[in-house]
C-alpha cells in the first residue's frame, strides 16, 4: 500500500495535476465510520440539500438498466457532482434484485465511485449499500423533523415494510432523539414483521410494539408512517385511512395511489427527479395533467418558502439524489484518511505518462 500521490504532466497552461492513489473502502470500514454519528449525518444531508437547492450541484436523471428476462430486477446509475466544501464528483451503481430476499441475502447491493474534481480520476471505490441506506434514513429523519414542526410531534410511528431501510430509519430516528409511545409494524411477510419486532426489542425501543395484520390498522394507528417496501405499483388507495393527518415518509415511492397523493400535502426532494418512472407523484401528474398538487421541495420547507399545512396528511416522496451519496461517501473517505487506515491499491493507474 502507498499514500504517495503520483504527478502526471498536464498542459503548460494548467500546470501539473496530482493523481490521487486509488483506495478501496469496505463495508465494514464504512459502518465503523458512520455508526453512532446519526446526528452529524443528518446535519451533513441538510447541508447537502441546501447546496443542491442553491444550484451548487449537478444531479442528472438516474439511469436504469433493466432486463427482459428478469423484469423485477434493475441496476441504477446515479451520477452527480457537488460543490461547496465537498467538491467531489462520482456515481453510485446500485442493484435491486428483490428475489435475493428469498435466498436470505439483502435485496440491494451497491458501490460508490468518487472522482477528483480537478483531474477526473477516480480516487476511491466504497461499498455503498450502507451509504445508500444511511443517506436515505438521514433524509427521511430530516424530513420528519421539518414536516412536523407546525403540528404535534408524532408519538406513534408505523413501519410499513421491515427490511434494511426500515431498520436504518429507526436507527436514525433513535439517534436523533426521537422516541415514541407506540411503534407499529406491518409486512406482507409474517416472518419479516416478526424479525423486525425482535430487532426493535433488542435495540431497546421504548413504548409498546405492535405487529399489525392489516395496512389500514398500521396507518390509522400511526402519526408518522414510514413506507419502506419493494412495491412496484400502488397498493394503498383509500384516503380515509389518513384522515388523522399523519406525516408520511413515502421512501419507497410507489405505495400510494394517486387518490391518496391528491388528498395530501406533497413535498419531494427534487421535482424533476421524483415525477418520473411511475412513482406515485408521477402517476398523480399523469392523472391530473398538472403538478399543482405539489407544495414544494424539502429545501423550500427548510428555507421557509413553503409552510406545510397541519390540517391534512403530508407526504414526503424522496426519489433519492446522487449528491447525498457523494456527501456521505466523501465523509467516510475523509475519516479514513484521517485515521491512517485508507487501503490504497498500488499502481492502480499504471499509464500516467502520455509518451511512456
| DSSP state string for 217-232 | HHHHT-SEEEE----S
Round to whole Å and give the CA distance between 67 and 330: 32
Average pLDDT, the chain: 93
Q: How much is the average pLDDT of 135-139?
A: 98
Question: Within 10 A of 114 (CB to CB), how many other CB atoms are there?
Answer: 24
Task: For residue 119, give the 3-state DSSP assignment.
Answer: coil
SS3 of 61, please? coil
State the Cα–Cα distance between residues 287 and 281, nearest whole angstrom: 10
Q: How far is residue 221's CA from residue 157's CA, in Å, rounded to a whole number? A: 8
> Alpha carbon 56 to chain centroid distance?
19
pLDDT in tens, 68-94: 999 989 999 999 999 999 999 999 999
Average pLDDT on 133-140 reads 97
Note the pLDDT tens digit of each residue in 32-65.
999 999 999 999 999 999 999 999 999 999 999 9
Specify the pLDDT at position 18.
Answer: 83
Percent of the chain with pLDDT over 70: 95
pLDDT above 90: residue 4: no
Name residue, grid cell 385511512: 241
Q: pLDDT, tens digit, for every residue of 247-302?
A: 999 999 999 999 999 999 999 999 999 999 899 999 999 999 999 999 999 999 99
pLDDT band at 9; cut points 50, 70, 90:
very low
- pLDDT (tens digit per residue) in 171-196: 999 999 999 999 999 999 999 999 99
Is residue 196 domain-resident? Answer: yes
Residue 13 confidence (pLDDT): 39
Cα separation, 192 vs 194, in Å, equals 5
Cβ atoms of 187 and 162 within 8 Å: the answer is: yes
Asked whether residue 33 is domain-assigned, the answer is no
Is residue 205 over pLDDT 60? yes
Q: Tell which residue, 42, 37, 226, 252, has the closest CA to residue 142.
A: 42
Q: Quote the domain boundaries for residue 169.
A: 133-317
Does residue 228 carry a pLDDT above 60?
A: yes
Going along 155-212, which residue ranges are E strands? 156-160, 182-186, 208-211
- pLDDT, one tens digit per residue, over 99-133 is 898 898 888 899 999 999 999 999 999 999 999 99
Q: Which helix (H) or strand (E) holds 293?
A: none
The stretches of 4-67 forming alpha helices (DSSP H) are: 27-34, 38-53
Model confidence at 7: pLDDT above 90: no
- Whether 183 is covered by a domain: the verdict is yes
Provide the pLDDT for residue 339.
Answer: 96
CA distance 120 to 133: 26
- The whole-angstrom separation of Cα 112 and Cα 100 is 21
Is 63 within a domain? no
Q: Is residue 83 one of the residues assigned to a domain?
A: no
Note whether residue 57 is domain-resident: no
Report if residue 240 sits inside a domain: yes
Residue 209 has pLDDT above 70, yes or no: yes
Count of domains observed in the chain: 1
pLDDT band at 16 (very low <50, low <70, confident <90, very high): low
CATH number at residue 189: 3.40.50.720
Do residues 161 and 218 make contact, with C-beta atoms less than 8 angstroms apart?
no
Residue of 64, 50, 57 whose CA lies nearest to 279: 64
Say how many C-beta atoms besides its own lie within 10 A of residue 39's C-beta.
14
Q: Tell whether the model's pLDDT for residue 95 goes beyond 50.
A: yes
Residue 210 inside a domain? The answer is yes
Assess whether pLDDT exceeds 60 at residue 6.
Answer: no
- Cα first-last separation, the chain: 24
Position 3 pLDDT exceeds 60: no
Amino acid at each position: 500500500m502507498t499514500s504517495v500521490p503520483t504527478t502526471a504532466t498536464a498542459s503548460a497552461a494548467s500546470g501539473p495535476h496530482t493523481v490521487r492513489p486509488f483506495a478501496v473502502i469496505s463495508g465494514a470500514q464504512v459502518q465503523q465510520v458512520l455508526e453512532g454519528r446519526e446526528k452529524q449525518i443528518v446535519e451533513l444531508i441538510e447541508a447537502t440539500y441546501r447546496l443542491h437547492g442553491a444550484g451548487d450541484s449537478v444531479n442528472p436523471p438516474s439511469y436504469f438498466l433493466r432486463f427482459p428476462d428478469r423484469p423485477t430486477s434493475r441496476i441504477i446509475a446515479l451520477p452527480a457532482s457537488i460543490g461547496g466544501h465537498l467538491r467531489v464528483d462520482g456515481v453510485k451503481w446500485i442493484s435491486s434484485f428483490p428475489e435475493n430476499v428469498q435466498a436470505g441475502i439483502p435485496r440491494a447491493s451497491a458501490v460508490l465511485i468518487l472522482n477528483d474534481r480537478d483531474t477526473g480520476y477516480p480516487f476511491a471505490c466504497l461499498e455503498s449499500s450502507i451509504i445508500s441506506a444511511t443517506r436515505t434514513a438521514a433524509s427521511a429523519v430530516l424530513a420528519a423533523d421539518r414536516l412536523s414542526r407546525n403540528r404535534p410531534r408524532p408519538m406513534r410511528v408505523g413501519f410499513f415494510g421491515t427490511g434494511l431501510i426500515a431498520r436504518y430509519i429507526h436507527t436514525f430516528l433513535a439517534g436523533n432523539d426521537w422516541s415514541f409511545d407506540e411503534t407499529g409494524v406491518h409486512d406482507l411477510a409474517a416472518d419479516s414483521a416478526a424479525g423486525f419486532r425482535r430487532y426493535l426489542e433488542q435495540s431497546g425501543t421504548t413504548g409498546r410494539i405492535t405487529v399489525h395484520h392489516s395496512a389500514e390498522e398500521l396507518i390509522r394507528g400511526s402519526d408518522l408512517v414510514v413506507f419502506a417496501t419493494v412495491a412496484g405499483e400502488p397498493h394503498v388507495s383509500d384516503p380515509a385511512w389518513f384522515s388523522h393527518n399523519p406525516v408520511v415518509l413515502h421512501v419507497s415511492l410507489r405505495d400510494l395511489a394517486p387518490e391518496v397523493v391528491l388528498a395530501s400535502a406533497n413535498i419531494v426532494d427534487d421535482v424533476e427527479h421524483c415525477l418520473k418512472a411511475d412513482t406515485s407523484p408521477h402517476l398523480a401528474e399523469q392523472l391530473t395533467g398538472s403538478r399543482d398538487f405539489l407544495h414544494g421541495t424539502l429545501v423550500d420547507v427548510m428555507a421557509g418558502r413553503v409552510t406545510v399545512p397541519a390540517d391534512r396528511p403530508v407526504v414526503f416522496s424522496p426519489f433519492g439524489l446522487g449528491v447525498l451519496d457523494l456527501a456521505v461517501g466523501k465523509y467516510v473517505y475523509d475519516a479514513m484518511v484521517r485515521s491512517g487506515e485508507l487501503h490504497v491499491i498500488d499502481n492502480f493507474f499504471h499509464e500516467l505518462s502520455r509518451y511512456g
